[in-house]
Every structure is written in structure tokens, then in C-alpha cells.
Amino acid sequence: MNYELQQFKADFFKALAHPMRIRILELLSEGDKSVNEIQALIGSEGSAVSQQLAILRSKNVVYGSKEGTTVIYSLRDPLVKDLLQVAKRIFDNHLVGAISLLESMRTSDPT
């Protein structure tokens, strides 16, 4: 694998490395939204949402298109939705593993 591809992947995952950015991407996976819509759904200040959108834009994860005075944000690649779903499945697998470990520890505890 060449260095440029590895660097792209590292930069891409850095762009995802914030809980609010993940939430924004989850919301955009459901459909295009304005900053105000995202802000209302997240329950955060507009400046915080705008800041996170700027990072996602700079890494080419999302893009904005102007409709009148409103900017509507979209996922640049719909495969991001699949990536988020795979990440959730990985999390669920870890959770199931942790629960199984706890249950086995509980049943083997002699006290």
C-alpha cells in the first residue's frame, strides 16, 4: 500500500475523531441538513456545529451547497453511512464480548 493512500486514510479517520463530528455524520446519513437543523438535533451552539462542519469540509467528508441564504450539508460519499454502520457493529461485538466476559466471571466467582 502506498504512502499517499495511508496518509489519506489517517487524515480521513482524524476527521472522524470527535463525537460531535460522528453525530453530524449520523444525521447527514439520514439526509441533507442545514446548520440550524443540525444544531437543533444535536442541541449544541451553532458555532460549535459550524466549527465541526468546517473540519469535515476541509477533509472532504461533507460538502455544502447554497440554497438562498442557507447552506445545506451533505455527505460527500454515501459510503460514510456504511462505515458508521460497520463501526456500530464492531462496537456491538465488543459490547457482547464484554458482557459475556462479565457473565462468565460472575458465574465462576466462588463467593
Give the domains, in start order, of the chain with CATH numbers. Answer: 3-108 (1.10.10.10)
Per-residue pLDDT for the chain (111 aa), expressed as one digit of tens each? 699 999 989 999 999 999 999 999 999 999 999 999 999 999 987 799 999 999 999 999 999 999 999 999 999 999 999 999 999 888 888 777 777 777 777 877 665
Q: What is the pTM of this model?
A: 0.81
Q: What is the pLDDT of residues 60-86, one digit of tens each?
A: 999 999 999 999 999 999 999 999 999
User: What was the pLDDT predicted at 1?
Assistant: 61
H or E segment to which residue 75 belongs: strand 70-75
User: What was the pLDDT predicted at 100?
Assistant: 76
Q: Residues 6 or more apart from 29 whose CB is under 8 A from it?
A: 75, 80, 81, 84
CB 74 within 8 A of CB 28: yes
